[in-house]
Structure 1
């Protein structure tokens, strides 16, 4: 199975100049655990996750702070044609739970560790 089979429609994103509250609001509204941070050209520059939110709350950082100051800038990505096992290995090796899927420098989707686990469980349960 390939990563592209796990991608859902729509990528939730904010710009790096947007305040943290933009990401928090979109995460809550869309019931997701991360938001991709994009530049003015729509290219990914980072990611903001639930873990980042916990950190900024613990550090007392204002929700009006620009995302560029608090986002995770080391962006680990997957290719749509990559196997889900390869994507899972990237997530484990980098201790991350959300993996943006990119094609031609654009984010085309995001997969979570939960998406991968569901897929692997479905495959396992479908075998006799």
Structure 2
């Protein structure tokens, strides 16, 4: 199974200059645990996750702070033709729960560890 089979339409994102509240509102609205942070050319430059939010609250950082100052910059990505197993291994090796999916340098989706577990379980259950 390939990653392209798991991604949903659209990428939930905020610009790097948007405040933290933009990311939190979109995470709440879409019931997701992360938001891709993009630059003015709509290329991914970072990710903002629930873990980042916990750190920010614990450190007392203002929620008006631009995402570029608090996002995770180490962006681990998958491509659409990558296998689910390969993506899962990246997530395990890097201790991450969300993986942006890119194609030709542009974000086309996001997969979570939950998405991968569901796919792998479905695949396992479909074999005799």
- The reply to whether TM is greater than 0.5 is yes
Aligned to 1:19: 19
CA distance in 1, matches of 2:54, 2:9: 27
Shift of 1:127: 1.6
TM-score normalized by the length of structure 1: 0.99
Q: What's the secondary structure of 1:10's corresponding residue? A: coil
Q: How does 1:108-123 map to 2 (within 5 A)?
A: 108-123=108-123
Q: Could you tell me which residue of structure 1 aligns to residue 5 of structure 2?
A: 5
Gaps of 5+ in 1: none
Cα shift at 1:124: 1.1
User: How far 1:126 moved relative to its partner?
Assistant: 1.4
CA RMSD of aligned residues (A): 0.5
Partner of 2:49: 49
Q: Which runs of 5+ in 2 are unaligned?
A: none
Please give the per-residue CA displacement for 1:50-75, whole angstroms capped at 9, x wherever unaligned.
00000000111000000000000000
SS of the equivalent of 2:109 reads strand
TM-score by length of 2: 0.99
Instruction: Number of aligned residue pairs: give it.
Output: 128
Distance in 1, Cα, partners of 2:97 & 2:8: 16
Paired position in structure 1 for 2:95: 95
Q: Partner of 1:76 in structure 2? A: 76
Runs of 4+ with deviation above 2 angstroms: none
SS at match of 1:42: coil
Separation in structure 2 between the aligned mates of residue 91 and residue 72 of structure 1, nearest angstrom: 15
